[in-house]
Copies of this chain bind each other. A is one copy, B any other.
Amino acid sequence: MRQAGTNLPKVGQYNRAVVLDHIQFADGISRVEIAERTGLTPQTVSGIVRRLIGEGIVREDGRGTSSGGKPRMRLRVNPGAGRAVGVAFDPAELSCVVVDLLGNPLGRQRRPTPPHGSPDQIASSVAELVDEVLGDAGVRREEVLGLGFVTPGPIDLTQGLLVTPPQLPDWDRVPLQRLVAEATGLPVTLDNDATAAAIGERWAGAGRGVANFAYFFLGTGVGGGLVLGHQVHRGGSMNAAEFGHTTVDPDGPQCYCGNFGCLETLVSPAAMVAEARRRLASGSESSLSARGLKHTAILRAAAAGDELAGGIVDRAAEQVATVVVNVVNIVDVDLVVLGGHGIQYVEDRFRGAVERALQTRPLARRIRTARVELSPLARDAAAIGGAALVLYATYSPRVSELLSL
């Protein structure tokens, strides 16, 4: 990454995006308030707002409280001014949403990923799914700004390739960005699912307007996303926020990643099922049975009061909390967001464990206690994140663009 200067057109784009961000995150805001909060002059703000209104992206919406003189018009984003599609791809399931400019879902659907499908078959299946979702939501293709395609596992962002998708051993450096763009006729943005979900939280979830937050995504694996100084932090090799591969137990088992005692090896669904089987085999009482035991059964049993299942969930939550505290001590975020299907039914146990840890363990807790929130986007977090990728690339103030060559 070069250290670049900037110029007037970039500054104009950036300031426009900052103004739009403030309008989006506020529940109605005046031009004067925007000027106060952004440090921009009232003239600059007025000019930007005039253009945003002209383009239909922002609208004036009733009169706000005036401070004496002229009443102030409140500004809001026009949610209908643009649509974006998000598709989350994993080996088991394709899910798709279409959202408006505020990130509200207008339609959504899921279908099983074609087993042993070729990349072309996957792309066709995605195109069918997108057609259905747009049709059901009554959204025309011309209204769609783009499609965000998100997937677990390593991605070559510069070339739009899936490098080695999990559980698809025959796939290697597959140009899925191009294939999906050809099949759907939409411009396609590719990204990691956890990074996208973090962007979704910033756009429409628990991270709205928060300067610094960490997003923990507990799914089949444990992924994450980081927003630092209002910017998505990707890191030098674009692989930041791999919270699942930090060490919780240095003497623990080696992870497929090469590291030892990774969080993911301890709290993944597979690890929790294995732990439950061990406890059942040792004769502990439980409503669960070892045969055909599934992860969701453990989560449901824990929610229903089963002691063995509860113990396993609480242990996993403690291990997540240890990594949360490490992340807070390393990057000093204001907020931690927990999401993903790995915490369904037991969200409050995870939240409680993390909250207790944040109140008692980070070094800076007396200066400011980091908050914890559950993702409001839940099962759709990755797909909504995909759609948010498109909105983020189109509308958000990005320092990387301001300071790009």
Contacts and interface: CB of A to CB of B under 8 A. Distances in A.
Given A329-B245, A363-B257, A1 B236 contact: no
Contact of A38 (B3, B238, B370): B3
Contacts of A329: 239, 242-243, 245-246, 259
A6 interface: yes
A63 interface: no
B38 A239 contact: no
Which interface residue of A37, A209, A325 has the most chain B CB atoms within 10 A? A325
A169 interface: no
A67 interface: no
Interface in A195-221: 209, 211-212
A39 B334 contact: no
Contacts of A399: 229, 399, 403
A271 interface: no
A165 to B, nearest CB: 15
A5 B212 contact: no
Task: Classify chain A's interface size.
Answer: 35 or more
A212 B236 contact: yes
A332 B248 contact: no
A295 to B, nearest CB: 23
Given A258-B365, A259-B362, A361-B260, A333 B235 contact: yes
Contacts of A402: 6
A225 to B, nearest CB: 11
Given A6-B15, A242-B329, A247 B367 contact: no
Interface in A286-341: 318-319, 322, 325-327, 329-334
A330 B331 contact: yes
A236 B333 contact: yes
B2 A37 contact: yes
A246 B211 contact: no
A344 B325 CA distance: 30
A255 to B, nearest CB: 9
A363 B247 CA distance: 12
Name which of A226, A228, A235, A364 has the most chain B CB atoms within 10 A of its CB. A235
A269 interface: no
B330 A240 contact: yes
Interface string A344-383: 0000000000000000111111011010000000000000
A40 interface: yes
A258 B322 contact: no
Contacts of A403: 399
Contacts of A327: 330
19 contacts: A3-B38, A3-B209, A7-B11, A11-B11, A212-B236, A228-B235, A235-B331, A236-B333, A237-B367, A238-B332, A239-B367, A240-B330, A241-B332, A242-B329, A243-B330, A245-B329, A245-B363, A258-B360, A258-B365
Given A242-B363, A259-B363, 10 more contacts: A5-B14, A39-B405, A211-B236, A212-B236, A229-B231, A229-B233, A239-B363, A240-B330, A250-B322, A259-B362
Interface of A: 1-8, 11, 14-15, 18-19, 21-22, 37-41, 44, 154, 209, 211-212, 226, 228-231, 233-243, 245-250, 257-260, 318-319, 322, 325-327, 329-334, 360-365, 367-368, 370, 397, 399-400, 402-405
